[in-house]
Amino acid sequence: MKKITIAIDGFSSCGKSTMAKELAKKIGYIYIDSGAMYRAVTLYCLKNNLIVDGKVDEEGLKAQIDNIHIEFRLDESTGLPQTYLNGENVEREIRNMEVSSYVSPVAALPFVRKAMVHEQQLMGEKKGIVMDGRDIGTVVFPDAELKIFLTASPQVRAQRRVDELTAKGEPVSFEEVLKNVEMRDHIDQTREESPLRRAEDALLLDNSDLTIAEQDKWLMDTFDNVVSSL
């Protein structure tokens, strides 16, 4: 069967990566978490004193950008992709709070985006890929055969995040999380470089009121329709 390129974009905390990962597994495609790449660059900055007094040393990072090598390798036991930074598995580290708090300014730097987009395009050269992020359908793969723009109301996303953190034993207030969700939406949509926006040909999926099973069915039906129409 002909392999296609699948681009999944959308707001933070609406389940993009869970959706993309599951889909890739089911259809035997490669899954790439583009956000993990921006997180790995941020971790590199933190480890190499390129974030000083809370500010990114842009010139320093620019001089070292070619030394940053990011790849994904499958964990044999779980079948899930792991992020490697210069040969080291950093999958856990890139999800910590310190990285999370600096990744937005790092991801907004034009030379960082240029380097990551180039890598992402190379990864997708052979198709058979599901990539999630903010600019995949608009910038990275504008010719993707299937583009999905995922969203859910800020309240629903905040509640999901509260439930997740509470389950991990980190209780937080709903109001605090909602404020954070709304702030990130604002930054993602208004940044100058590749802001989050729905590609004109992307299918909109609002999963506020969908169960996982309903979402999975929509996704598989949509994928089958696209592939059979080629």
Q: Which residues bind ligand DC (CB under 6 A)?
A: 12, 34-35, 38-39, 103-104, 107, 133-136
Provide the phi-psi class of 13: left if phi over 0, else alpha when psi is between -120 and 50, else beta.
left
The candidate with the shortest Cα–Cα distance to 62, out of 48, 72, 75, 74, is: 48
Whichever of 4 and 94 has its CB closer to ligand DC, that residue is: 94
User: Mapping DSSP to helix (H, G, I), strand (E, B) and coil, where does residue 146 land?
Assistant: strand
> Of 2 and 92, which has the nearer Cβ to ligand DC?
92
Is 22 or 227 the residue whose CB approaches ligand DC more closely? Answer: 22
**Could you tell me the smallest distance in angstroms from the CB atom of residue 181 to ligand DC?**
11
In a 10 Å sphere around its CB, with 0-12 CB exposed, 13-18 middle and 19+ buried, how is residue 12 labelled? middle
- The answer to whether residues 161 and 153 touch, using CB atoms and an 8 Å cutoff, is no
Shortest separation between residue 183's beta carbon and ligand DC, angstroms: 11
- The first and second tokens of residue 24, run together, are 């890739």
Q: What's the min distance (Å) between Cβ of 127 and ligand DC?
A: 18
CA distances in angstroms from 79 to 8, 157, 166, 229, listed in the order given: 21, 27, 27, 30
Residue placing its CB nearer to ligand DC in the complex, 107 or 181: 107
- Name which of 38 and 223 has its Cβ closer to ligand DC: 38
d(CA 158, CA 164) in angstroms, rounded, equals: 10
Question: Whole-number minimum distance, CB 230 to ligand DC, in Å?
Answer: 26
Least distance in Å: CB of 38 to ligand DC? Answer: 4
What's the DSSP call for residue 143?
T
